[in-house]
Amino acid sequence: MKAPFVKDLAADQSITGFFLVVEKEVRNTAGGKPYLRMELGDKSGTVEARMWDHFEDPAKDVSRDDFVKVQARVELYRNKTQLALSQLRRAKPEEIELADFLPHTPFDVEVLYKQLQGFMEELKNPWLKQLVAKVYSDPQVVAKMKRAPAAKVMHHAYIGGLLEHVVGLCGLAKQMGAHYPELDVDLLLMAAMLHDIGKLEELCYERAVSYTAEGQLLGHIVMELETVSKVMDSIEGFPAKLKAVVQHILISHHGEYEFGSPKLPMIREALVFHYLDDMDSKVAAVRAALAVDSGEEDWSVYSGALGRKFLRLDAYLKEPEKKKEAKN
């Protein structure tokens, strides 16, 4: 059991609980005495922790991104809470509920996944249907897709965020197919389902969200290109030209060279999918910016992803009460 959460720590308590190791280092005091300094966290925030004595043995067994169990006293140091540890050990997997450590999509991932399966059923092109089915026949892919965030900080940056984004894009793809009869909906749906498959490997999100070394060296576009290409090669008779079309849609979906697409969209569906993906990401980023209390009544926090802040429409359109006059 997790408790307490970081945000609930109050000075002068003694606590026992579980945390994620965000940073860990051994420092020396000015007098030359070594001590263990860690930053511990959960989904509610992070807190500094120090262990002054007998930390050598337990410290050896603990690394960044491990879960730990601690006994500690909550102290106040320069106006901030801090933990003085008396006991420390790595947590056992069965002691940990991951949901306590990372934020989560507001939707039920099982429901989202059912919706995705429904969209898969609707594919009419037999090659694309087979392609998508085969990619998702890997239980690893399914398991990861139910957990992966869509990005580290830009948008849908929480457990299940990628699935939420993918299902949303499937819905948008259907709408575009209804609006523009010239579009091949199957290509749009396939794009929605496969365009971020590489993020399952690019991002590491068991504890915190970060990039894997491979993710940094290759990026999710190149990673999913390889995964999806292999599956196409494994399907007997998959048409060579359709393969090039699928590959093009995957590599061009960022829309511009500077965002890591080695080709600009040169197929109508690739162009439309780029717009949908970009718009859905941006709408999610605005939603996230508006969800935070910025301290300004009319404005969201500044969104680094979008380079500006956004108006809180409701607050702005509501007539303010007249300010009372000063009294004494």
Q: Which of residues 106-165 bind a second copy (CB under 8 A)?
A: none
Instruction: Choose between 144 and 253: whose C-beta lies nearer to a second copy.
Output: 253
Q: Which of 229, 235, 294, 301 binds a second copy (CB under 8 A)?
A: 229
Q: Which of 279, 292, 302, 304 binds a second copy (CB under 8 A)?
A: 279
Query: What's the token pair of residue 318?
Result: 């509501």
Q: Contact between 251 and a second copy (CB under 8 A)? A: yes
Q: Which of 121, 241, 293, 322 binds a second copy (CB under 8 A)?
A: 241
Tell me if 40 sits within 8 A of 70, measured CB to CB.
Answer: yes
Query: What's the token pair of residue 88?
Result: 């420390």
CB of 182 to a second copy, least distance (A): 7
CB of 27 to a second copy, least distance (A): 9
Q: Which of positions 289-328 make contact with a second copy (CB under 8 A)?
A: 290, 295, 298-299, 307-311, 313, 316-317, 323-324, 326-328
Q: Which of 12, 236, 293, 321 binds a second copy (CB under 8 A)?
A: 12
Choose the binding region for a second copy from 25-33, 40-48, 112-120, 189-197 (rule: CB under 8 A): 25-33
CB of 155 to a second copy, least distance (A): 13
Q: Contact between 26 and a second copy (CB under 8 A)? A: no
Q: Which of 98, 184, 204, 235 binds a second copy (CB under 8 A)?
A: 184
Which residue carries 């969200």 as its tokens? 209
Q: How far apart are CA 199 and CA 89, in angstroms?
A: 32
Q: How far apart are CA 47 and CA 83, in angstroms?
A: 7
Instruction: Choose between 150 and 290: whose C-beta lies nearer to a second copy.
Output: 290
Q: How far, in whole angstroms, is CA 153 from its chain's centroid?
A: 7
Q: Which of 1, 31, 106, 139 binds a second copy (CB under 8 A)?
A: 31
Say whether 277 sits in a helix, a strand or coil: helix
Instruction: Choose between 3 and 283: whose C-beta lies nearer to a second copy.
Output: 283
* Number of Cβ atoms within 10 Å of the Cβ of 6: 17
Q: Contact between 168 and a second copy (CB under 8 A)? A: yes
Choose the binding region for a second copy from 103-111, 135-143, 156-164, 173-181 (rule: CB under 8 A): 173-181
Question: Each residue of 29-63: b (16+ CB within 10 Å) or e?
Answer: eeeeeeebebbbbbbbeebebbbeeebeebbeebe
Q: How many residues bind a second copy (CB under 8 A)?
A: 86
Instruction: Please give the full DSSP string across 153-214, using - where no structure is assigned.
Output: SSSS-SBTHHHHHHHHHHHHHHHHHHH-TTS-HHHHHHHHHHTTTTHHHHEE-SSS-EE-HH
Q: Which of 1, 30, 121, 236 binds a second copy (CB under 8 A)?
A: 30
- Angle of CA points 277, 308, 147, to nearest 5°: 40
Q: Residue 297 pairs with which residues in a beta bridge?
A: none
Choose the binding region for a second copy from 14-22, 78-86, 111-119, 146-154 (rule: CB under 8 A): 78-86
Give 276-281's long-range contacts (Cβ < 8 A, gap of 24+). Answer: 276/169, 276/172, 276/173, 276/176, 276/188, 276/192, 277/169, 277/191, 277/195, 277/253, 280/165, 280/168, 280/169, 280/172, 281/150, 281/151, 281/154, 281/155, 281/156, 281/165
Which residue carries 């989904």 as its tokens? 43
Site string for a second copy, 52-71 (x = CB under 8 A): ---------x-x--------
Which amino acid would we find at residue 209? V
Q: Which of 181, 213, 237, 293 binds a second copy (CB under 8 A)?
A: 213
Q: Which of positions 256-275 make contact with a second copy (CB under 8 A)?
A: 257-264, 266-269, 271-272, 275
